[in-house]
Amino acid sequence: MLKIWGRNNSINVQKVLWTCGELGLPFERIDAGMAFGVNNTPEYKAMNPNGLVPLIDDDGFMLWESHAIVRYLARTHGTGNIWPAEPRNAADADRWMDWYATTLWPNLRPVFWNLVRTPPEKRDMALVEASRKQMAANFQIVDAELGRHEYVSGNTFSVADIPMGVAAYRWYNMAIERPTLNNLDAWYARLCARPAFKQHCMLPLN
């Protein structure tokens, strides 16, 4: 059975768990990271030299990097479903995953870490506000895209919705100011109705 290392409150682990849920793939999850440790042991670092989660073992095939894992599982078990079969559609979905990693995440990270994982007296609120504004501008781009179709890269749910969805969960569940973005709201409501998103991603932020 597919093995996944990683604590279930990690944004990157949640992408993988949600993907498995969408594909109906059974897996065994091993707690690792933060309070659980494991990820800094020599045994773990032999499997992932970064000492980070998630990591998977699919019948001896070891893979780290959450987006690489999501793409691998989606291509293997969901081509024509959550992995678009047509190359241009796949490239479009792929593009949004890269955009999340290079553009959205660098703005989300400081807001999340300061507001969720840092005691109030140690928070860098100037950085939080600057990053929140950038994130709002990022989500405006996503909102405009969602005005053209129901999901991030077309009218059906795909891998493109997975990183964006876990980011949106944090965006909507942190105590921050948010501009009105009607298309984003409607898409987020569609995600919240998906059983795998509910089960693996709609968890307390900590």
Ligand X SMILES: N[C@@H](CCC(=O)N[C@@H](CS)C(=O)NCC(=O)O)C(=O)O
Q: What does the binding site for ligand X look like in residue numbers (CB under 6 A)?
A: 10-12, 33-34, 39, 52-54, 65-66
- Alpha helices by DSSP H, listed for the chain, are 11-23, 42-47, 66-78, 87-99, 105-117, 125-146, 161-173, 182-192, 195-201
Name the residue among 180, 176, 178, 169 with its Cα closest to residue 204.
169
Q: Of 66 and 107, which CB lies nearer to ligand X in the complex structure?
A: 66
C-alpha span between 151 and 8 (Å, rounded): 25
CB of 160 to ligand X, least distance (A): 15
For ligand X, the closer of residues 21 and 54 by Cβ is: 54
Q: How far is the CB of 71 from ligand X (least distance, A)?
A: 12
How far apart are the C-alpha atoms of 53 and 31, rounded to whole Å?
10
Please, what is the minimum distance in Å from the beta carbon of residue 145 to ligand X? Answer: 22
- Residue number with CB closer to ligand X (94 or 143): 94
The residue nearest ligand X at its CB is 33
Task: Tell me how far, at minimum, the Cβ of 100 lies from ligand X, in Å.
Answer: 10
| Peptide bond just before 54 cis, omega within 30 deg | yes
- 105 or 190: whose CB is closer to ligand X? 105
